[in-house]
Each structure stands twice: as C-alpha cells, then as structure tokens.
Amino acid sequence: MQINPYGADVVNLAADLANRRPTGVAELAGRCRAAGLVLEAPVTAADLTSVLATLDAWEAVVDAGDERERAGLLNRMLEQAAAHPRLTDHAGGWHLHYRDADTSPGAVLFALIAVGRAVHLAGRGMHRLGRCAAGGCGLVFADTSRTGRQRYCSPRCANRDAVRRHRSR
C-alpha cells in the first residue's frame, strides 16, 4: 500500500479495522491484503495484539477534543514509529517505506497508520477524522471527501439520518 498525498488508503484501512476489529490473525492478514498492503512476513498473534493497541491509539486521536490535543497524540505515535524512510522495490515499483527493514506486520501497520494519518490531517485539515453523526452509530470515519464536510461513516447512515429528520418534521 502506498501513502498517496492525502493518506486516504491508510486512514480508510485504519477506520475499517477500528470499526470492525479483526478477531484473528487470518482475518487481519486478509483485510490488509484486500486493502492493498503487501505483507512481507506472516501475521502473528503478537501482531494482532499490536494492531488492536494501535487502533485504540488511533481512536484516541479521532476523539481528541481539539486540534492541539489531536496533534499531540499523533506526534507521540510518530515518535514511536520513527525510522529513516527508505526506497524499496519489493512490490514491482520503487516507493518509500517509513520503517526499518524486517519490521513485523504489527509494527508496519503502526507506522503506516501514524504516518498516513499525519499526511492526511496535515494535507487535508486537522478536522478530517470523526465519529458518525447518525444517532446510535458512532463508527469512526476518515473524511476523504473533496469538501471536507463528511459527518457520517457511510451513505447508508447519512440517508437513514436524513429520513429520520424528514419524518420528525
């Protein structure tokens, strides 16, 4: 998976994993591959535990009270993920990795989620993470819309909320 200028691929993967936490190693590996992440090592139980902790940290950033708190939480994650960027062609084309060679899949996901989110928020706006505004939902979303006004985790929740508001009138 390459981090595009908006970090959309990585933040969408993080939101998906946070909203439907993987329950096993095979599920985590399958969902990462489906999202385009090239796994260079087998996913282990320790990686699953690491990813679940990463998702907790990711949700703390989502739920931060303001931009400064959000930046502080994210900076702490970036400090833990710090490594020299390196060029690699393991997937058939040259691209950057923001991690050391021979890093476990759990550590790879931590680095990708931290750096991808930083790229996304710095490039698109610090407000571009949130929880669904539909009553009773509360799932996490990463706003990758052009307008930057996303309020719902999915079109389904947006439509359901619009119908609820219409009927209440």
Instruction: Write the pLDDT tens digit of every residue in 132-141.
Output: 999 999 999 9
Instruction: Write the pLDDT tens digit of every residue in 78-106.
Output: 999 878 888 888 777 888 777 777 889 99
- Residue 108 tokens read as 């790879």
* Single-letter amino acid, residue 48: L
Given a cut of 80, whether residue 36 has pLDDT beyond it is yes
Given a cut of 50, whether residue 5 has pLDDT beyond it is no
For the chain, how many helices (H) and strands (E)? 6, 4
Given a cut of 90, whether residue 126 has pLDDT beyond it is yes
Among residues of the chain, what percentage have pLDDT more than 70? Answer: 95
Note whether 2 and 38 are within 8 A (CB).
Answer: no
> In 3D, which of 85, 14, 90, 100 has the Cα closest to residue 53?
14
